Structure 1
Amino acid sequence: MLELEHGFRIVDVGVRLDPDQEAVTRRGRDITPERLERELHQAGVVRAIVAPGPRESGGYLRLNNAVARLSVDRPFMAFARLGGPRVPDSSTLGRVRNLAVKREPYHADPEDVEQYAYDDRFHGFLLDPAQDGLPESDVLEMLAEVGSPVLVRGGVRFPPHAVEEFVLDYEFPVVLSGFGGFPLNRELMGAAIELLSAHDELYLDTRFVRFRDPMERALREHPDRVLFASGAPDSHPDVAVMEILTLDVPEDAMRRAFSKNPGRVISGLAGSE
């Protein structure tokens, strides 16, 4: 694809980096870190938050370290992916099940969070409770203590009301991926936008949103709470950027989503406009 010309400084908070051939094979699109960097550059992305994709089982220590290593000398900032033993289910059955869970060695514990937080290779955390399980309360408390930003994968299996119940009581910045409506659920996206009025530390990113209406609504009603995310490599960054550029919103709202808002939430993304 041709390099986009748009005049914006763009940072991307939603990129997956597959650090080994096993992950590439399982996830589908065969893309090297070099090619990923090139595609981001074509779209005008100057910095990107990267984290490993989901595993079928086990923990993320090796993958997190591999992603951090591959980020060196590239415009990537690594986030550590964390898993836990709890199910993100507030039903009676879910609560009973969570009472009986036991943390396995590969699940995140508070010490893991502390080590990642004070390792200068990592700049925040990623939670995907539907895929990896929800960490226990002591882990979430440690996330609040270190205060690093946390990307949360939301969607049908971990909807906005579950994010509010399980995560938003803790005092750390939360960036809810895909407006909390993945895959393509307008009702959940609307619910996530409603949450912005009640939670000052909640932000939404544009990964795989695809619909114009919720993005325009969020950028008009909460211009300081939307962050650009391409979803690369599953979505080409050019496509994701064009989705923002074609919205019917002021240029300043685009600039906020592309760079100003991410720079306020995630240290290291800020830069000259």
Structure 2
Amino acid sequence: MLELEHGFRVVDVGATLVGEPGGSRGRAVAPDRLERELRQAGVVRAVVAPPSRPNESGYLAANNAVARRSVDRPFVPFARLSGPRVPGDPPDERSNPGEHPDTESVAQYGYDDRFHGFAIDPTLDGLPTPGTLDALGDVGLPVLVTGGHGFPPSRVADLCGRGFPVVLGGVGGDPGTRELFATAVDLLERHDDLFLDTGTVRSRAHLERALREHPDRVLFASRAGEAHPNVAVMTLLTCSVPEDTMGRAFDGNPSRVVPSLAP
């Protein structure tokens, strides 16, 4: 096991767990296999959320299934939210009609001890309304945000300062989004509640810059369920940064932002 080789306690803020068999396209990993792959990579505990499902309304069943399949496993379930607003539209515009979580739904998720945070993918699932974002602030649980060209870091910054930690992922995985990751690192100077996850970052130079400039704001994520977690673990292990900094990214920072990941 890698855990025995590198000596770090590793926790993960970015794994995907399919709620039910046949409930996803692509690489659908059953809970037992996900747990086994994480263990092989030395990951002792992981945040899990259902995958984004564009053009499909509602995540209630998927969220409940993920919570159910996390019982007695080293998984920390997050509830995925969709929203009626298309990124770039005015706050009062509802461009994506349909059933989406409202303030009451957020409160139910937030005060249900089965869930420890939220996940949103604005490009695929839309943005919550301002009222729903206010409800997220009232709850105060961390929100994982998937960025990219459709929702760049400059837009992610609009979610900051609302009373909940924002953990940005999804950028830095290919040459087309590495510039976005660099922009996200710059934004850490201005937003104390913004964090970056390492899940898709494959450029060691960009990752090392983030770790050196903001050692308290980088959180390890594996993207397990979509890719084998060994890849993300090895990418971080090969960075030329102090051991203390690496340990903070693997454990200290994620456990601070998501207390359920702590020992």
TM-score, normalised to structure 2, is 0.94
Q: 1:49 aligns with which of 47, 50, 74?
A: 47
Q: 1:229 aligns with which of 221, 236, 256?
A: 221
Q: Which moved more, 1:215-224 or 1:12-21?
A: 12-21
Q: 1:264 aligns with which of 249, 256, 260?
A: 256
Task: Kindly provide the CA deviation profile for residues 186-244 of structure 1, in whole angstroms up to 9, marking residues without a partner as x.
Answer: 21111000000000011000011111111100100000000000011222111110111
Q: Which moved more, 1:190-199 or 1:12-21?
A: 12-21
Match of 2:10 in 1: 10
Alignment of 1:76-225 (within 5 A): 76-89=75-88, 94-95=89-90, 99-101=92-94, 104=97, 106-165=99-158, 167-178=159-170, 180-181=171-172, 183-184=174-175, 185-225=177-217
Whether 1:21 aligns to 2:21 is: yes
C-alpha deviation, 1:249, in angstroms:
0.6
Helix, strand or coil at the partner of 1:123? coil
Alpha-carbon separation, structure 1, partners of 2:138 and 2:190: 22
C-alpha deviation, 1:54, in angstroms:
1.2
Alpha-carbon separation, structure 1, partners of 2:101 and 2:63: 12
Alpha-carbon separation, structure 1, partners of 2:93 and 2:80: 24
CA contact (8 A) 2:172 2:202 kept: no
Match of 2:240 in 1: 248
RMSD: 1.6
Helix, strand or coil at the partner of 1:204? strand
CA contact (8 A) 1:156 1:183 kept: no
Alpha-carbon separation, structure 1, partners of 2:209 and 2:178: 12
Change (3 A) 1:81 1:250: same
CA contact (8 A) 1:159 1:188 kept: yes
CA contact (8 A) 2:85 2:93 kept: no
Task: Kindly provide the CA deviation profile for residues 149-189 of structure 1, in whole angstroms up to 9, marking residues without a partner as x.
Answer: 11111111110011113x114121010014x4455412111
C-alpha deviation, 1:105, in angstroms:
5.5
CA contact (8 A) 2:28 2:226 kept: no
Alpha-carbon separation, structure 2, partners of 1:168 and 1:197: 12
Helix, strand or coil at the partner of 1:62? helix
Alpha-carbon separation, structure 1, partners of 2:28 and 2:164: 34
TM-score, normalised to structure 1, is 0.91
Alpha-carbon separation, structure 2, partners of 1:85 and 1:135: 6
Change (3 A) 1:149 1:30: closer
Helix, strand or coil at the partner of 1:120? coil
Letter in 2 for 1:218: A
Structure 1 unaligned spans of 5+:
none
Change (3 A) 1:115 1:183: farther
Q: Which moved more, 1:98-107 or 1:13-22?
A: 98-107
Whether 1:239 aligns to 2:237 is: no
Change (3 A) 1:99 1:268: closer
